[in-house]
Amino acid sequence: MEQMTLAEAIEKGYDYCLMKGDKNVTELRDVDIEDLAERGAVLCKSDPVFYEINSETLRQIVIDHFSNGESFNDPDREMASAVEDMSLTQYEPLTTLINDAISCYCFYPTLKIELIL
């Protein structure tokens, strides 16, 4: 794994790292040197990746729900087939609503660069 010092990372424009054992990223300017020395960290991409769902995925979730549902009886898959026959454009309004609702959630993918002192 490539290594880079904290100073080099800041100089090269990186903004975030993931401290080992943490679930959330830390801004490089807020990294505690002792904590870094003790636990270590990896650099993260500076640009966030936002969560989103597409109409095909949403459609498949609904199909799976009706195909595998235990709260109702559909041995001939009639309900699942009815949902399967819906066009993707029928899912687009709900897809848009879901994506709008989760638009503020993102993550910063880690890089294969170990942050060192």
- For residue 19, the cross-strand partners are 41
- Cα 110 from chain centroid (whole Å): 12
| One pLDDT digit (tens) per residue for the chain, 117 residues | 999 999 999 999 999 999 999 999 999 999 999 999 999 999 999 999 999 999 999 999 999 888 887 777 778 888 889 999 999 999 999 999 999 999 999 999 999 999 999
Q: In terms of Cα–Cα distance, which of 55, 46, 47 is closest to 99? A: 55
Distance, in Å, from the CA atom of 62 to the CA atom of 108, rounded to the nearest integer, reads 29
- For residue 3, the cross-strand partners are 114
Tell me which DSSP letter residue 75 carries: T
Q: In terms of Cα–Cα distance, which of 48, 58, 45 is closest to 103? A: 48
Question: Tell me, what's the pLDDT at 76?
Answer: 83
Question: Tell me, what's the pLDDT at 80?
Answer: 86
Question: Tell me, what's the pLDDT at 72?
Answer: 74
Q: CA–CA distance from 9 to each of 4, 23, 24, 94 (Å)?
A: 6, 20, 18, 41
Question: Tell me, what's the pLDDT at 70?
Answer: 72
Please tell me the pTM assigned to this model: 0.72
